[in-house]
Structure 1
Amino acid sequence: MKKIVFILFLLCGVNLLWANDSRDEFMQDYNACKNKDEQSCKKLISLFEPRCNDESLSQEDRGFACSVVAVAYDFNEKYHEAASFFQKGCNFGHGAGCAELGILYYEGWGVRQSFEKAASFTQKACDLGHGFGCGQIARLYALGEGVKQDFKKSFSFAQKGCDLNDALGCGILGILYEGGWGGVKQNKAKAKEYFGKACDLGEQVGCDGYKRLNSK
């Protein structure tokens, strides 16, 4: 299960940064931390951990702050600490925190490996409107990992994920339409359409599927 590209959930959707924060400075620290700059990671943690714990802030703000702290730990492969703060972010309703926590449980990084918990947290992320979580729970239902294999549920979650521009969700739709699985009739035209969207969103499975169908 691949890792999240964090920029999207950190900067999209809501006013995630406080009035006195510099978005440019935040992104500079974020990118440096992503490249294993320890001081930049420490700076993010020192700035956002107090906000994660600040009871005067909204749950949305606290959830975001907790997830930023988790990201900083995650980039430095301190997965136990990352899991703790992703859990806090998830508890505050931050969908990306739930999705990333699901990945940690799937891989067994910083926590005891559990496909069941991976499924639970990625589904919660999807329920919170996080497209990546929808794509991941669709994948788990397709494979029967942590949940009973169910192609109809896989299709449903993949559709929601693709509607939210999740590449994996679109790719799974392409696979299901190509094979006629998940309660849908085989439809090569729709399969090609969804493979194409998945490819445009950066999913190699989509590019391979589109090329395969386009050559027939």
Structure 2
Amino acid sequence: MKCTNRTIIVILSLLLAATPCLASFDSGLKAYKKKDFSRAMKDFKADGGKNSCYNIGIMYYKGEGVKQDRREAVQWFRKAADLGDVNAQFTMGMLYDKGEDLALDQGEAYRWYRKAAEQGHRQAQFNIGYMYTMGEGVKKDPKEAVIWLKKAAKQGHPEAKKILGVMGEKDGSI
């Protein structure tokens, strides 16, 4: 009986401990939408989850409620990306791809885009397909390009559809 009571107490404690995090993110998001940036920042930092880290990065990137600090933004984007946030992974890819706020590095851009693409991020899928088409950051590979462009096209990406049409890729063959 004592073991069962302990188990119940542990489970309840874990559930209660998780609730403030969700509440912190949700209240942070509400505050952000109301442009109460100091409250949003406080709640996002209290939460510490991947979505909160990404939103903190956005706030530093745009200078919302804090002094604009792109280096700090990149640190928060990287933290969120490492935690698996698909938008942060895509953002890291973009920053490396464009050479904005980070050194231009097509290999790193590919790595981050790939992580986001594997989670179904439509634009990341397109970017991966484009990189394979052009040989940017990866070895040129038309077959791999088609795979990724098709994934993006299935999600309605107009440029992916256009490129596939130009490649003659309509029925699954080049």
Please classify the TM superposition score into its range, dividing by the shorter chain length: 0.7 to 0.9
1:67 Cα deviation (Å)? 1.0
Whole-angstrom CA distance in 2 between matches of 1:79 and 1:130 = 21
The alpha carbon displacement at 1:119 in A equals: 1.6
Relative to structure 1, the CA distance from residue 69 to residue 145 in structure 2 (aligned partners, 3 Å threshold; closer, same or farther) is same
Letter aligned with residue 194 of structure 1: W
> Partners in 2 of 1:88 and 1:207 — Cα distance?
39
Q: Are 1:186 and 2:140 an aligned pair?
A: yes
Of 106, 129, 137, which aligns to 1:151? 106
Verify the 8 A CA contact 1:196 1:207 in the aligned structure 2. Answer: no
1:109 maps to 2:67: no
TM-score scaled by length of structure 1? 0.63
Equivalent residue of 1:215, what SS?
helix
Superposed CA offset, 1:32-64 (max 9, x none) = xxxxxxxxxxxxxxxxxxxxxxxx943x44332
Runs of 4+ in 1 over 6 A off after TM superposition: none
Work out the percentage of aligned pairs sharing the same amino acid: 24
**Pair 138,71 (structure 1): closer, same or farther in 2 beyond 3 Å:** same
Larger Rg: 2
Q: CA deviation at 1:173?
A: 1.1
Q: Which structure carries more helix by proportion?
A: 2
Q: How many residues align?
A: 154
Determine the structure 2 residue equivalent to 1:212.
163
Which one of the candidate residues 44, 51, 72 is aligned to 1:86? Answer: 44
Whether 1:72 aligns to 2:30 is yes
**Counterpart for residue 162 of structure 1:** 117
Q: CA RMSD in A?
A: 2.3
1:134 counterpart residue number: 89
- Provide the rounded CA distance (Å) in 1 between the counterparts of 2:155 and 2:45: 28
The one-letter amino acid of 1:117's match is E
In 2 relative to 1, CA 180–169 (structure 1 residues): closer, same or farther, beyond 3 Å? same
> What is the Cα deviation at residue 200 of structure 1?
4.1
Q: Are residues 57 and 159 of structure 1, via their aligned partners in 2, closer, same or farther at CA, if it must alter by over 3 Å?
A: same
**Could you give the per-residue CA deviations for residues 57-90 of structure 1, whole angstroms, max 9, x where no partner exists?**
43x4433221111110122222332222222222
| Cα separation, 2, equivalents of 1:146 and 1:82 | 24
- The aligned residue for residue 123 of structure 1 is 78
